[in-house]
Amino acid sequence: MTLATHDIAFMKMHGLGNDFVVLDCRVRRVSMNAAMAKAIGDRHRGVGFDQLAVIEPGDDGADARLTFYNADGSTAGACGNATRCIARYLLDESGMSEVVLTTDRGRLVARDAGHGLTSVNMGPPQLDWADVPLAHAMDTLELPIDGGPTATGMGNPHCTFFVEDAESVDLESRGAEIEHHPLFPQRTNVQFASVIGENHLRMRVWERGVGVTLASGSSSCATAVAAARRGLTGRSVTIELDGGRIDIDWREDGVWMTGPTAHVFSGSFTLAWLETIR
């Protein structure tokens, strides 16, 4: 089958089951908007994703710039697993061992960690209430919400609950409720985590604008930071997610995240389908 000249190519990738549609727009620009992102994100009538990522030419010496969209069409300031997936793609393409990416979060360094793993420095955590952001001044270590969660900014807002058993939480109900809590003017990602060993956490996640996901890189970073701040773990932890295992290391220069990635397939959107989007 010959593809029309106006078809738009995409890649389907995932990091621990946290899945993405990625458009490489460094050569051919695509005007992405909320309606188009939401249509692509429909798992029945589109392709389906947790987030959509657009790769554009880098600025200020960076190798590429990334922009992220949630499945509901809203934008996401950060997406750790998508950043790792794209970093792996660019590392393999260039043959380099390190790339620099710019996002709304700022400049992020990504490196080949060996054994098929990729590391990304997601930058320093945002611990002040105004940077998360929260609705008004308060201590981010323990919020005035039932369960006393911790708020953390990783370029997007996070609310982390530490519980005895993360498996027993009604994630769909609690996640949807907390995402829209009035303390979070931009909504929030929600995590429920349990300590299952020394520097070892079990975590489940609800992503704002998406729902329950198998994994989340920025949520993993936020949960590791929150656990260290509360004295539950050290600053280097392993997190068990529904989709697999990820390692987080909160260093002086930022929060490093290391894990596997997968480029599952490549395809293209037909012009006829794109013209149906309003």
Burial class, 275, CB count within 10 angstroms (exposed 0-12 / middle 13-18 / buried 19+): exposed
Q: What amino acid occupies position 220?
A: S
pLDDT for the residue numbered 6 = 62
Q: DSSP labels for the chain? A: -PPPTT-EEEEEEEETTEEEEEEE-SSS-----HHHHHHHH-TTTS---SEEEEEEE-STT-SEEEEEEETTS-EES--HHHHHHHHHHHHHHH--SEEEEEETTEEEEEEEEETTEEEEE----B-STTTTT-SS---TTS-SSTT--EEEESSSEEEEEE-S-GGGS-HHHHHHHHHT-TT-TT--EEEEEEEEETTEEEEEEEETTTEEES--HHHHHHHHHHHHHTTSS-SEEEEEETTEEEEEEEETTEEEEEEE-EEEEEEEE-HHHHTT--
Kindly report the pTM of this predicted structure.
0.93
Check residue 1 and give its pLDDT: 31
Answer whether 84's CB lies under 8 Å from 217's CB.
Answer: yes
Q: What is residue 269's predicted lDDT score, i.e. its pLDDT?
A: 93
pLDDT of the chain along its 278 residues, tens only?
Answer: 334 446 789 999 999 999 999 999 998 888 899 999 999 999 999 999 999 999 999 988 999 999 999 999 999 988 999 999 999 999 999 999 999 999 988 899 999 999 999 999 999 999 999 999 999 999 999 999 999 999 999 999 999 999 999 999 999 999 999 999 999 999 999 999 999 999 999 999 999 999 999 999 999 999 999 999 999 999 999 999 999 999 999 999 999 999 999 999 999 999 889 889 87
Q: Which sign, positive or negative, has the C-alpha torsion 170, 176, 180, 186?
A: positive
**Looking at the DSSP assignment, which residues form a beta bridge with residue 13?**
20, 263
Strands 254-260 and 106-114: unpaired
* Cα separation, 184 vs 131, whole angstroms: 11
Task: Tell me what pLDDT residue 77 has.
Answer: 85
| CATH 3.10.310.10, the chain: domain bounds | 8-122+261-274, 150-252
Fold of 150-252: Diaminopimelate Epimerase; Chain A, domain 1 (3.10.310)
What pLDDT, on the 0 to 100 scale, is given for residue 219? 97
pLDDT at 126: 98
CATH superfamily for domain 8-122+261-274: Diaminopimelate Epimerase; Chain A, domain 1 (3.10.310.10)
Query: Are the CB atoms for 8 and 39 separated by under 8 Å?
Result: no
- Structure tokens given for 111: 């490196």
User: How far is residue 248's CA from residue 85's CA, in Å, rounded to a whole number?
Assistant: 16
C-alpha 189: how far from its chain's center?
10
Q: For the chain, first and last CA: distance in Å?
A: 27
Reading the block at residue 99, the tokens are 């790339």
